[in-house]
Chain A
Amino acid sequence: MFTRRLAVMVLAASAALTGAAQAADYPTRPVQYIVPFGAGGAAELASRVVSEGFTEILGQPFVIENRPGANGIIGTVFGAKAAPDGYTLLQANGATFSVNPLLYKAATYDPTKDFTPIGLVARQPYVIAVSAGLPVNNLAELIALAKQKNGALTYATGSTSHQLAGELFQKEAGIKLTHVPYNATNLALPDVISGRVDLIVTAAYTAVPQLGKIRPIAATSAERAKLLPDVPTFKELGYPNFVVEGWFGVSAPAGLPPEVVKTLNTALNKHLQQPKVKETFDKAGFEVTPSTPEEFAGFIKHELETGKSVVEAAGIEPQ
């Protein structure tokens, strides 16, 4: 008796799963939102705000599913392979889309082909900060010191997108630094504070509570970070090509019907315009950046190309 009911349920469910969603009714059941990182961290806030927004505006529960592992590769690969019916979405971010395909052979996905971009959510400015004990007060002095030490200066990173900023810094300034990777920024902080490591590339947001122990030298974004308005950007300091930011966006497997993309994008941007949402992101050091799907696609391409040139210049081979 029970098995018969179970069989009917399974048949019904599989019938519902096959076939693309009807655009007019989308969504008609809960949607899975894959976040390729573990619970906690910057990804958490961004994904939570987005899923709550979708749930509120589109009326169906959008459920976060954390699939961590391999610097985000595992979750992203899973997202790429899912059915493009609009019921599985993926959080895209700088690390998984712009950096991992260049550094890891295991990242078998192509960020420009295997996904349907839906929209950008927010960008996060990074800063390059030095340990308080290092005798440099501005970028020019830092570059001079780096040239003098010829590779002996160390810089810490908590994620691969920080590393990209660090490599770009070396390329643009013509210097060599020694990279010290950490699994998370919070593990790097004691070493930078104590001066064991000289520099750190981190989000402006993380640097603020540590001001006094570390000294931000320059911001890597196009405009000054709202949380650190006194820190000049690389662009201002004479490096107009140097723009790197952490970013989060929403994407889906390739082949999503355009009507569904439009529905999601409109809902996303509507949610991002709300002052309450802007405030939440501002407090966390993010800058909300609504976009159209085409703009997002262009953005991803641009980020990937920046990454490629940096990785090639640095001579890093994919592992």
Chain B
Amino acid sequence: MVVILAFALFALIGILASQAFRSTGTYRAAVPAGYQLVSMDLGHEARMGARGPVLLRDDEWGIVGKVDLLLRGPQGEVIPVEYKSAWKGYEAGTARRSHMVQLATAFLLCQGDPRINRAPVEGWIRYVDDQGKVVPGGEVKVQNTPEARAQVIEIVQRMRQAKRTKAEVHRTLNTGYNCRHCLNHGTCGEAKVA
């Protein structure tokens, strides 16, 4: 009798938890059906266990980084996902260049790290609000292209040169709009704020 009751209790909790899991639409939005979560670097390490953050390394270029979310797609493909704060007046489907470069760096890391050793076909940038929810039209899918890889490598080479020569680096933004929103415009000395 006790065993039957315990079985019923387990089954009941299991069914309720299963329904609660299915109703967590926000979770399914983060990890779509058919995709598997490989690692996450969005805090909560204690709850994530083996699916916690992974430091990826590309030895060829000396680049390291943790991808916010690493997913395994239905065909076994690797999909890096980066989470970014949506700015005021965010336009659906748009992504900042610097965020796309960071995702391109994740592509390079996936390809260069011997544990993955494969180039993603695409990656996703998710723009989230204060509650951590993706804003409408805030999931942007970015294709992995040779141009994106070349852009990352060019930046890395410039950074290494700047570190090596200890030379002062000058402003590369071309519009006052971006300078106004840059958090360093107060100390920059070159910022163009209209």
- Do A and B pair up? The answer is no
Taking Cβ atoms with an 8 Å cutoff, the residues of A that contact B are: none
